[in-house]
Structure 1
Amino acid sequence: MASQSTTSDPAAGGQPYRVLGSLTISRAGSTQREIEAMPDPLTIDLSGVEKVDTVGAWLIYRTVRDRGAKVVGASKDVSGLLDQVAEADHPAQVRPEEKPGAVRVLDELGEWVAESGTTLVGLVGFLGSVLIGVAAIIRRPKRFRLNAVIQRFDVVGVRALGIIGLMSFLIGIVIGQQGAVQLQQFGAEVYTINLIGRITIRELGVLMTAIMVAGRSGSAFAAQLGTMKITEEVDAMRTIGVSPIEALVIPRMLAAVVMMPLLAFYAMIMSLLGGGIFCWISLDIPPLTYIQRLQEVVPLHDLWIGLIKAPVFGGIIALAGCFQGMLVEGNSEEVGIRTTNAVVQAIFLVIILDAVFAIFFSSIGWL
């Protein structure tokens, strides 16, 4: 390996500082000390350089910048690297410039609106991909994976019975207790049954079930598909000619659509049971009177409203979960972010759709 050399009399100046061999990080310390010992005006001769890296180029450039040194004999590659180092030499702002509060709020609001629009467009596009996959399965029924759907039935429906039943039972008790407290002021405790029956069957039963399914199954869908994306299982499926939409997304969506009405009906029954027990214990309303009163005050179309909304909510929850899961890229942290987004997005869409359904059914006279 060639060595570096200087003039035999550094103090006298005259001859340039010559660099021989490698100008790399391993020689940066000794090169810097030798350059610092050289008097001004300084000329650096790089004609003997065989190898240079970024550290060596930075050392030469800094000497030129700070001491006004002159570089001679540099090859085309060395000159190019010096030019790149010079272009990269600009002040960096460690802390971003703080904007006024109003501007910052508007900036964040604009980013949120833009991101929401992009997500909505992506969700609609993903729904289109699912519909194309459904059409392909209809044309070729043998591609339908029944076992995958049955497994999702177990995950979405059977294993959720415990938590949804307990939650609905307690909500029925809470509705009865809060309603009775207010109605007792007017001596109308018997109308607590009206409150429990209508709000549970028409709205709260299916809505709370949808929220629970979104937090439980929607997040699971996003996490499962996101993990498969990271481990490149989805890419492997595409490589062997298997559509991820048909194999992963459609079974989950079908399971959610089918199981949501059943779970919603189960939640309604458990809520009515909880409210009935409260009325029996606290208001001395016998169970037979409670059942008869429910039949009188709860119209049948309330039940149909809840059961019509349930599969739509289930489809939206599964769609949001699978969509966010398929967007995962990079690392495991992305899985957590997308899982959170899936739950928030699903609950938001469910509430929006519930408001749309409320307006629609009121407009057709189902009050």
Structure 2
Amino acid sequence: MDRVAEFAIDDRQDGGRVLALSGPYLISSVAEIEDGIYAVEGPVARIDLSEVSEIDTVGAWIACDLAKEHDAEITGASERAQRLMDAVCGLESDTETSAPREPLRQRIFDSWSQKIYGARHGTRGVIGFLGALVLASGSVIRHPSRFRGKALVRQLELVGIKALPIVGLMSFLIGIVIAQQGAVQLQQFGAETLTVNLVGRITLRELGVLMTAIMVAGRSGSAFAAQLGTMKLTEEVDAMRTIGIAPMEALVIPRILAAILMMPLLGFYASIMAIIGGATVSDLMLGIPFWNFLQRIQEVVPPYDLYVGLIKAPVFGLIVALAGCYNGMQVEGDSEQVGTRTTMAVVTGIFAVIVLDAFFAVFFTRVGWA
């Protein structure tokens, strides 16, 4: 049987031009002649299907489309061809199928309504997660043998020790920037020696701990979310529950404790590195000797600036770890959720840290530690 679809033009004086189709009009055979058959010019009175050996829905659609394009009638169709054409010829419609676009005001209202509802749902989830964490902590306190000491040590290494290079470099550069920019502005008033006060107070009180928290959120918070989210997708968390291991005790508590314990140390380390960076720039640009800069820091920075940073650090660590662990444990469905929840962990962690830092600033000002 011939497996090539063909067509021909038959000019008949009595009935006008006829477009005769022949051979199998199947999805596997019409691709070669599709461009040519649609390039036929001039009026066509009839589409003749009497020589079509086989036809499927694609062939029936082509016949219907040609008939509509040339305003021609279809003749010679077999029973199968007629049945297929009856099914496909009426599928095309000029009716608008897209939904009407809502007014801008309505779309804004709907968008904010969905965000508010999502925030409400998220708040309930966070409260539930905190409740589960408190219950798991109480269970560990009552049964100390269930505490995962090795897991805590491992997380202390990942959160703290391995973060020292990047945190130190970042803080050193921040100290350089603060000292250089501060000196440029203070020189206008002949007060460049106050660069020591600027670098010491702003790093110990604010930027040392704040920038460390942001770095930990991007580094460890995202890792918590990705690790726990992957374990959820691979059903490792469900397997732990099946064999009697509480995921909150084995996975969440060590990570949160590690962040709480390491944040004060990382924050203090970051402040020291920033001060060293500021001392280096002051030695090179302002003529203030390096060791004199460090000695002057002890004189101009009140002790409560250090206390403020050390008080904020564990709270920031708790917030960052909670954001990472909560979003990781909420992963479900597919692997795309891992990326989405990891992003949410970083964004919500950084946002919460900055908001809390503002509250801390107001609080410590009220108590006289300004």
Return the letter of the residue paired with 1:366.
W
1:340 is matched by which residue type in structure 2?
Answer: T
Output the CA distance in 1 between the equivalents of 2:99 and 2:284.
63
Cα deviation digits, residues 171-191 of structure 1 (max 9, x gap): 000001111111111111011
Within the alignment, does 1:199 sit opposite 2:202 as a pair? yes
**Residues 58-137 of structure 1 correspond to what in structure 2 (within 5 A)?**
95-137=98-140
Q: 2:325 aligns with which of 315, 322, 334?
A: 322
Give the alignment partner of residue 139 of structure 1, picking from 125, 138, 142.
142
Which residue identity does 1:34 align to in structure 2? E
Map 1:242-257 → 2, pairs under 5 A = 242-257=245-260
1:43 maps to: none
Deviation track 1:327-354 (CA, whole Å, cap 9, x = no partner) reads 1111111100000000001001111111
Q: 1:194 to 1:240 in 2, by over 3 A?
A: same
Q: How does 1:143-182 map to 2 (within 5 A)?
A: 143-182=146-185
- Distance in structure 2 (CA, Å) of the matches to 1:92 and 1:347: 49
What amino acid is aligned across from residue 261 of structure 2 in structure 1?
V
Q: Following the alignment from structure 1 to structure 2, what is the Cα–Cα distance between the partners of residues 130 and 201?
A: 31
Deviation string, structure 1 residues 214-261 (Cα, Å, up to 9, x no partner) = 000000000000000110000101111111100100000000000000
Give runs of aligned pairs for residues 36-55 of structure 1, distance below 5 A. none
Shift of residue 356, structure 1, vs aligned partner: 1.1
Q: Deviations over 1:147-176 (max 9, x none)?
A: 000000111001100000000000000001
1:206 Cα shift?
0.2
Q: Does 1:212 align with 2:215?
A: yes
Cα deviation code 1:72-120 (max 9, x no counterpart): xxxxxxxxxxxxxxxxxxx997644323333323332232232223222
TM-score by length of 1: 0.75
Q: Which amino acid aligns with 1:231?
A: T
Q: Does 1:34 align with 2:79?
A: yes
Q: 1:180 to 1:130 in 2, by over 3 A?
A: same
Return 133-142 or 351-360, whichever deviates more: 351-360
Aligned partner of 1:21 in structure 2 is none
Match of 2:292 in 1: 289
Share of identical aligned residues, percent?
58
For residues 193 and 240 of structure 2, the distance between their equivalents in structure 1, rounded to whole angstroms, comes to 60
**Aligned CA distance change for structure 1 residues 93 and 129 (closer, same or farther; 3 Å):** farther
For the residue of structure 2 that corresponds to 1:174, the secondary structure is helix
1:224 pairs with 2:269:
no
Contiguous gaps of at least 5 residues in structure 1? 1-26, 39-55, 67-90
User: What CA distance in whole angstroms lies between the structure 1 residues aligned with 2:208 and 2:95?
Assistant: 56
- The aligned length equals 297
What residue in structure 2 maps to residue 334 of structure 1? 337
The yes-or-no answer on 1:239 pairing with 2:242 is yes
| SS of 2:188 mapped into structure 1 | helix
SS of 2:288's partner is coil
Distance 1:278 1:155, change over 3 A: same
Q: For 2:263, which of 260, 264, 270 is the aligned residue? A: 260
Partner of 2:29: none
Query: Partners in 1 of 2:292 and 2:100 — Cα distance?
Result: 69
Q: 2:283 aligns to what? A: 280
- The match for 1:355 is 358
Distance 1:180 1:226 in 2: 47
Task: Tell me the SS of whatever aligns to 1:186.
Answer: coil
* Aligned amino acid, residue 335 of structure 1: V
- Tell me the residue number matched to 2:17: none
| 1-structure distance, mates of 2:314, 2:151 | 19
SS in 1 for 2:101: coil
